[in-house]
Structure 1
Amino acid sequence: MKNVLVKFGSMARRHSSADGTLNSVDSVSVRANVVEQQVVRLKAADEARKAREERLAALNPFCIDATLVECLSDGQGSVEDKVKAFKLLTQCGLKSIILAAFVKERTPDLKFLQAMRSQKLIDEHCLAFSELFDANGSDLPGQDLPFGLAKMIQFGIQNAILECDLAAPYINWNKYSTEDFCALVESRCRWVAANLFAGRSVPPASFVHLRDFATAMQVAPQRVLELVQYLGRLEPGIRPQGILIHEPASGHFPFEAAPYVAAVRAVMDATGWTEPPQQAGGTLSAAGSGLLLVHVTAGYGLAHATVLECLAAGCNGVMASLCEEAEPASVHASSLLDLVNLSRLGNPHVAAHFNMDQLRAAAQEVSAMVLRAQREADKTAEREAAQQAQQQQQQQQAKPPTASTSPSHSRQPLILGHA
């Protein structure tokens, strides 16, 4: 009996006390379990980090350059500066360069495009933006050929970036189905393949730019992924070269972008629209290759972190300008810093495809062009304001003096009808 009581007492000491609190032995055990759980979580997080870093280190980045339309857009810089910037970009290893963003009733710098064409600088790698359809005052997309595609024929630009908004408030999505939108995008891709062939050795290509990607993935993710699936199932000769996504870094944190990108990449892979193997950094790949490029606008210092998250989650390149000097509405994550970040992780393809010293020098020169153009624009605005003020002063001085009236004529009754 005594042994039984001793055993019972030892068991009581190992369990909770009468008031429900843990004794010292149990407290140590619980703390040990918490520590072990956190160590397991940290190890899992570290494995995920290593996987992301391995992808970034092995990634063969594809770059579409937007310097001429974001940093040196219409009204920013002379024709000579823009042509010089184009040559600098190509010398650094950047070949896929956007020359213009065609929007109806807002034509870009035609003198620059004419100079590029006269000097035979527009080649099979050049691109331009075009709206998917021109606004016609209706809540349904128009079927007529958009202004941008017509202009691309005029200047011999054979690669089109089609601007698509999948959460657009100006489209009545109750009347216009996802199938209708997909069919419209397909028709534009077929038109590009059939009509933008400029007699060059490389066939024309189209890209689909999901301009409101972040918003659309929040409010209409099924519509986005159904479009991706639809395009991925097209025959390779018609299928776009890839998808460009726009991520506003000011809208959310970098880690929020990763699941969106991973979802798009998974749908592309499921349709056979996979990443091109070992694609050269600035050269357009075979028709219908599954490029997924990200363009990130600036936001509270989060832009480049967002780029890295997107690349680790499934993007295989960027659409970006070489430097970050631009109009406030066009500030973005630069391709130079994106490439530097990849190089820091030991990526061998960056140095193989791009001359980093030349890229840095070119970025400095383009930055100087932008600042010079901004100073000239400020001076022009000051001159115009001074001229307008002078004209107003001259007009006031030219007015004849108002004839003075006598007190009797100027006297008015305090109450109408009474003297």
Structure 2
Amino acid sequence: MLPRGRNLAIRRRTLRQKSKIENDHIDLETSKSLELFIAEVEAFESLGNEKKDHLRELDLLVLDTSIRETTVGSIRGHTLDNKREIFKEIKKCGFKYYVIEAFNTETRVGDVFVKSLNDAGEDLSGAFAFSECWDVVKNKIPQEEPIPVGMRKCLQFGVPNVIIEVDLCFYKVDYGRFDEGKICELLKKRLQWIKKNLSKDSLTFVNLRDFSDAMASYPQRVWKVVNFLSSLPAGDRILGIMIEDLGKYDKDHLGGWTKALRSEMKRCGWEDGHLLVHVHEQWGLVQGNVLEMLAMGGTGIWAGICSEGAALGHADSCTTILNLIRLGNTKVLNNGINCQYLREAAINVTKIVTTEKPFERQPVYGERATDMVFGFVFDQINNSEIETDSASLSGGRIPDFDLSKFLGVKSELRITTMASPEMILLKLRSEFGDEPQFTIDIAGAMKDQIIKNLTAGRKEEYTSKSGLAMLFDQSGGHVTAKIAEIINATAENKPHIDFLIEEVKKLWKMYDEADGTADDTLTFENFYNGFMAPYFGCYRCEDSQAGLRVIDLDYDGCIEWTEFRYFLIWAGREYPSVKNMKELLDKTFRNGIIPAMLDELSKME
């Protein structure tokens, strides 16, 4: 995250002044070219300012679809307990409105779930369910009867609010004979049925399910339906219109179409009607497309808290909302949504649905989403004296936003070739506490060692506690017993590695009992005989003694199991594909203990 700079107007003035000074040293033709260049920079920077300002002022409406969206096409469907757990998460998020099911003729898990909520006396005043506008199509003509099963189940289960699904270019319908006028007539009857049979206070959305394709090929159909809904008498108007895209169209089309819909709603006097947007992933553009649609007139989103959903997923509400906050939107912080909890909820729902954590590089709520990677950025943050001024949000500028600070989570310092010595030093202290060995010099040596290891063909990581400690050990430091204890207490290995470490422990016990006392401690000689002999020629030679000193972290002349286990944990994390105990020990000695031993010998020399 870069420090906040001056506002855009000051930056432009500075650029012009600097250019004028430089112009004294260039010819007239070059000067004119530079002026044109600066003018174009200013023109293009101003293009998105109006959109950013709109997003900052947007009072976003969220219709949560986590219970429904995350089960669509999922490899593992929802169990009853899954739905209960997701329901708890969306309540913690503070979402006022949520989709509870898409009813059809089947008895789905959702039917049982809704019944259980009724039995428990749950307040369903904010619950919505999807329902088709028509269930039956005969001779390519949608039929008024029977009443769609989705609406009838809303009545049966006491779900007061409905989302009516409408298709405007479905291949099974002859729109020449069943035109948009007849669609509107049927919609009117459905709305009347809802008011009469569910509640006069029922909230209704109409979802234009094939919105994008209809706009691309039959925009007049979309206009007719939008015009009809927008022109209803004030007492008959619904809550709003929903539109969706399957990831097929670009943001310019989606933004333009959204603008056209919103303008038509306003022309008809439907200023307070909502226009909710929903976009599926396909080409990696999903969040940008949603923000474009919101900037061009969308008033809210219908989405799940995490991106799990049909095909490649969709634009999740967690990422969209935090993007609005990043842009400077404060209204979303004050409309009842627990914005600080969104990331945790997205992680939890992903686990519930997939049984796994989110992809580690998932924006916003992936494990690495809050990592600090670049050393130069770290230095700027820690050395910056630039303060935020009141004008820093003007001119469409995106304010600096610290996701970790906002969410109250620890920002992981990722140790790579891009890390500065200052980052490495802070990482050491944050993971293992204060230690006299932790100096800027040892941190610099660790940065150099990373390059040496890569040059030698060793592709390892240094962000985990075990990886960082091993790098420290190889770079002139000495891993203390305290560091080893921290690693032993917090290490998480794959079950396969834990099994192999247990196999090593069995061998360890055999040598531990050789002296008549099973105390998890081996003499140097027993440890050499049991584990070091394949890698060192003799027990008393200098190399072997140096290797033993590397492992003896507390310098007591013996090797404790916790001291040796630290090296095994490191090897298992760095080389998780080892097949057996022999391979694990081989990686432990060849890539862990021996390089650290060579460092020990160089210090002795």
Instruction: Normalising by structure 1, report the TM-score.
Output: 0.73
Cα offset, 1:232, TM superposition: 0.7
CA offsets 1:353-372 (integer angstroms, 9 cap, x no match): 32223222221111111123
Match of 2:259 in 1: 262
Q: How does 1:78-89 map to 2 (within 5 A)?
A: 78-89=79-90
Q: Which residue of 1 aligns with 2:350?
A: 367
Q: Which residue of 1 aligns with 2:60?
A: 61
| C-alpha separation in 1, matches of 2:100 and 2:185 | 27
Q: Which residue of 1 aligns with 2:519?
A: none
User: Partner of 1:237: helix, strand, or coil?
Assistant: helix
For 1:57-106, what per-residue CA distance to the aligned partner results, in whole angstroms no more than 9, with x for missing partners? 11111000111011146972322231222122122111201011013347
Where in structure 2 are there 5+ consecutive unaligned residues? 1-27, 358-605
Q: Which runs of 5+ in 1 are unaligned?
A: 1-27, 276-289, 375-419
Indicate the SS of the match to 1:160: strand
Is 1:165 equivalent to 2:167 in the alignment?
Answer: yes
C-alpha contact 2:78 2:109 (8 A) present in aligned 1: no
Partner secondary structure for residue 294 of structure 1: strand
Aligned residue in 2 for 1:209: 207
Instruction: From the superposition, tell whether residues 80 and 258 of structure 1 become closer, same or farther in structure 2 (CA, over 3 Å).
Output: same
Q: Give the deviation of 1:210 after TM superposition.
A: 0.5
Question: What is the rounded CA distance, in whole Å, between the counterparts of 1:237 and 1:272 in structure 2?
Answer: 13
CA 1:138/1:367 → structure 2, altered by over 3 Å: closer, same or farther? same
Aligned counterparts of 2:349 and 2:174: Cα–Cα separation in 1: 42
Distance 2:279 2:350 in 1: 19
**Structure 2 residue aligned with 1:238:** 236
What TM-score comes out, normalization by structure 2 length?
A: 0.51
Work out whether residues 204 and 239 of structure 2, in 8 Å CA contact, stay in contact via their aligned partners in 1.
Answer: yes
CA distance in 2, matches of 1:80, 1:187: 37
8 Å CA contact retained: 1:189, 1:239: no
Displacement, 1:239?
1.7
Deviates more, 1:238-247 or 1:302-311: 238-247
Contact (CA 8 Å) 1:100, 1:108: kept in 2 or not? no
1:95 aligns with 2:96: yes
Distance 1:30 1:222, change over 3 A: farther
In the alignment, the residues of structure 1 paired with residue 144 and residue 68 of structure 2 have an alpha-carbon distance, to the nearest angstrom, of 26
CA distance in structure 1 between the partners assigned to 2:35 and 2:139 by the alignment:
62
Amino acid at match of 2:60: P
Which secondary structure does the structure 2 equivalent of 1:109 belong to? helix
Take 1:263 and 1:51, find their aligned partners in 2: how far apart are those partners? 17
Report whether the alignment pairs 1:347 with 2:329: yes
**1:309 and 2:292 matched:** yes
CA offsets per residue over residues 243-302 of structure 1, 9 Å max, x none?
0000222x1222221110000000000011113xxxxxxxxxxxxxx0000011111211
Give the superposition deviation at 1:331: 1.4
Supply the distance in 2 between the matched residues of 1:240 and 1:175 (Cα, whole angstroms): 27
**Match of 2:118?**
117
Q: Is the 8 A contact 2:79 2:109 kept in 1?
A: no
| Structure 1: distance between partners of 2:127 and 2:43 | 44
Residue of structure 2 in register with 1:136 after alignment: 137
What is the match of residue 406 of structure 1? none
SS in 1 for 2:105: coil
Quick one: distance in 2 between partners of 1:111 and 1:30? 74
Greater displacement, 108-117 / 175-184: 108-117
**Alignment partner of 1:156 is 2:153:** no
Q: What amino acid is the match of 1:344?
A: R
What is the CA–CA distance in structure 2 between the aligned matches of 1:219 and 1:258, rounded to whole Å?
16
Matches within 5 A, 1:248-327: 248-249=246-247, 251-275=248-272, 290-326=273-309
Aligned partner of residue 78 in structure 2, secondary structure? coil
Give the drift of 1:41.
5.5
- Candidates 327, 333, 340, aligned match of 2:315: 333
1:191, 1:179 → 2: CA distance? 19
Q: Is the 8 A contact 1:130 1:146 kept in 2?
A: yes
Secondary structure in 1 matching 2:236: coil
Does the Cα contact within 8 Å between 2:103 and 2:150 map onto a contact in 1?
A: yes
**Within 2, Cα distance between the matches of 1:235 and 1:104?**
33
Q: Does structure 1 retain, via aligned residues, the 8 Å contact 2:161–2:202?
A: yes
State the distance in 2 between where 1:173 and 1:254 align: 28
Which residue matches 1:224?
222
The corresponding residue for 1:51 is 50
Tell me: CA distance 1:194–1:35, structure 2 relative to 1, closer, same or farther (3 Å). farther
Identical pairs, percent: 30
Deviates more, 1:252-261 or 1:144-153: 252-261
Deviation at 1:122, TM superposition (A): 4.2
User: Does the CA contact (< 8 Å) of 2:282 and 2:312 recur in 1?
Assistant: no
Aligned partners of 1:165 and 1:212 also within 8 Å: yes
Q: Which runs of 4+ in 1 moved over 6 A?
A: 28-31
CA distance in 2: counterparts of 1:34 and 1:267, whole angstroms: 43
Q: What per-residue deviation string (whole Å, max 9, x for no partner) do you get for residues 186-223 of structure 1?
A: 111121122111xxxx8101100010010000101111
CA distance in structure 2 between the partners assigned to 1:107 and 1:179 by the alignment? 34
Whole-Å separation in 2 of the counterparts to 1:209 and 1:324: 20
**CA offset at residue 32 of structure 1?**
4.6
Asked if the contact 1:101/1:108 (under 8 Å) is kept, the reply is no
Cα distance in 2 between the residues matched to 1:320 and 1:314: 17
Which amino acid in structure 2 is aligned with residue 180 of structure 1?
K
CA distance in structure 2 between the aligned counterparts of 1:121 and 1:196, rounded to whole angstroms = 17
SS at 1:209's partner residue? strand
- Change beyond 3 A, Cα 1:260–1:39: farther
Distance in 2 (CA, whole Å) between partners of 1:141 and 1:41 is 54
Task: Name the residue aligned to 1:7.
Answer: none
TM-superposed deviation, 1:235: 1.4
- In 2, Cα distance between the equivalents of 1:118 and 1:40? 67
SS in structure 2 at match of 1:333? coil
What SS does structure 1 have at the residue aligned with 2:175?
coil
Shift of 1:109: 2.7
Over the aligned positions, Cα root-mean-square deviation in angstroms equals 2.5
Q: Give the equivalent residue in structure 1 for 2:188.
A: 186
Task: Specify the SS of the correspondent of 1:204.
Answer: coil
